Amino acid sequence: MTRTKHNAKELAKVLSFARFLIWCVLHLHIEGTLDAELLLQLAKKYKVKLKWKTVAQIRAAYQFSSLDEFLALYYQGCNVLRDYDDFYTLTLRYLTRAARANVRHVEMFVDPQTHTNRGIELAMVIEAMADAALEAQRQFGMTTLLIPCLLRDHPIESGMDTVESILDIRQRDKRFKNWIVALGLDSSEANYPPKLFKRHFQRAKEAGLLLTAHAGEEGPPAYIRQAMKVLGVNRLDHAKRCLEDRKLVAELRRTQMPITNCPWSSLRLGVVNKLADYRLDTFLDEGLCSSIHTDDPAYFGAYEWQTLEACVETFGLTMDDLFQLSINSIVGSFASKARKIELKAEAYAGAARGFQHIQL
C-alpha cells in the first residue's frame, strides 16, 4: 500500500482519531523510565555525584550513537534505584503517565541482575513494582504483567541463578504466580547470540513462563531465527533486521509472531539514520503482527504519544493502520484470554468514538 505524507489537515484528523484508541505496552524497560527529574532527586537522596546539575544538562547528554553507548549511561542511572520507595515511585510514575496516553495494559521489563549485582534484593524490587501496579489498577483500571530479563552480556551462570531466583519468588508468593508472566533477554546484542541462553529459556518454559527476547535490534536476522528456533520465544522484541531476509519475513507472517517495534529507540541509538529508514510501513504491508513501543522513553525523549505522532507523520500512517497497531498490541500481549476480550471491546468502542468525533 502506498501511503503519502499527510498534509496538516489530514495529520490533525488522524491524530485526533488516534486519541480515542487504546494501547497495550509490550516493550518497556522500567529502568528506562527514570526521568531526569527523578534521577536528580534520587542522586541527592543517596549523595551520588552526577556529571550533570540540571534537567537540561541531563537531557542534552542523552545522545547515543549505539546501543552499547546508551547502555553505559542507562546502567549508571540504575545506581540511584535502591530501596522500595525508589522502585515504587519509578513504577507508579510511569504507569500514571501511560494511563494519560490511553494505555490500558502494560508488560514491564525489569533487569534483575542490574540490581542484584549491587546487593539489592530482587524480591524487594518485585514487591515494590507489584504494589505500584496494584495502585495503578485501582486508580486507572490498568492491568500489568512483569517480564524479568536476563542480561545477555553477563556470565551465563549468573543468568541461570537469576532464572532460579525468579522462579523461587514466583512460587513463594501467590500474588506473583501469574503476574510474573515471562522471561526476556536484553542488553548488548552484538556477539551475544540467543543460543547462549537455550538452557535458561528451557528451564523457564518448563516452569510455565512465556518467553520473549530482544533480537535483530542491532544483531543479524540469524539472531531472530535463533530466538525463534532455539529459544522458542512467543514474541520478538525489535526484530527490526528481519526485513533483510525475505524468507524470515514470510515465516513471521505465516506464524503471526508478535513483534514489538521500537522505531524511535532505533533512531536514537543510530540503528537507523532517519525514522523513515525504520520502514514501519513495510512491517504493516507485510502483514506482520507488529506494534509500536517506546523501549526506554526517559532516555530517548519520547513516550507513547510522541512516538505515535512521529510515526504517523513519518510513515503517513492511516486510521486503519493505527487501529491495526492497537489490535496487534492486544493480540501480541501476554494478557489472559478474558482480559484480551475486554481490551478488544475497548479498542473497538474507542475506534467507533474516534470515527464519530472526526465526522463532527
The nearest distance, CB 271 to Zn ion, in angstroms, is: 12
Smaller CB separation from ligand ADE, 190 or 319: 190
- Between CA 221 and CA 243 the distance in angstroms is 8
> Does position 127 bind Zn ion by CB under 5 A?
no
Residues near ligand ADE, by CB under 6 A: 29, 32, 67, 74, 186-187, 214, 217, 265, 295-296
The nearest distance, CB 220 to Zn ion, in angstroms, is: 18
The nearest distance, CB 219 to Zn ion, in angstroms, is: 13
Max intra-chain CA distance, the chain? 60
Whether 217 is a known active-site residue: answer: yes
> Does position 218 bind Zn ion by CB under 5 A?
no
Smaller CB separation from ligand ADE, 102 or 116: 116
Catalytic residue among 127, 217, 218, 346: 217
Letter string b/e over residues 165-201, b meaning 16 or more CB atoms within 10 A of that residue's CB: bbbebbeeeeebeebbbbbbbbbbbeebbbebbeebb
Residue 242 in grid coordinates: 528481519
Residue 8 CB neighbours (<10 A):
7
Residue nearest to Zn ion (CB): 295
Smaller CB separation from Zn ion, 216 or 316: 216
User: Within 48-77, which residues bind Zn ion (CB under 5 A)?
Assistant: none
Residue corresponding to grid cell 500481549: 333
> Can you spell out the DSSP letters for 179-243?
TB-EEEEES--TT--GGGGHHHHHHHHHTT-EEEEEESSSS-HHHHHHIIIII--SEEEE-GGGG
The one of ligand ADE, Zn ion, none whose footprint includes residue 88, by CB under 5 to 8 A per kind, is none
Smaller CB separation from Zn ion, 68 or 173: 68
Annotated catalytic sites, by residue?
A: 217
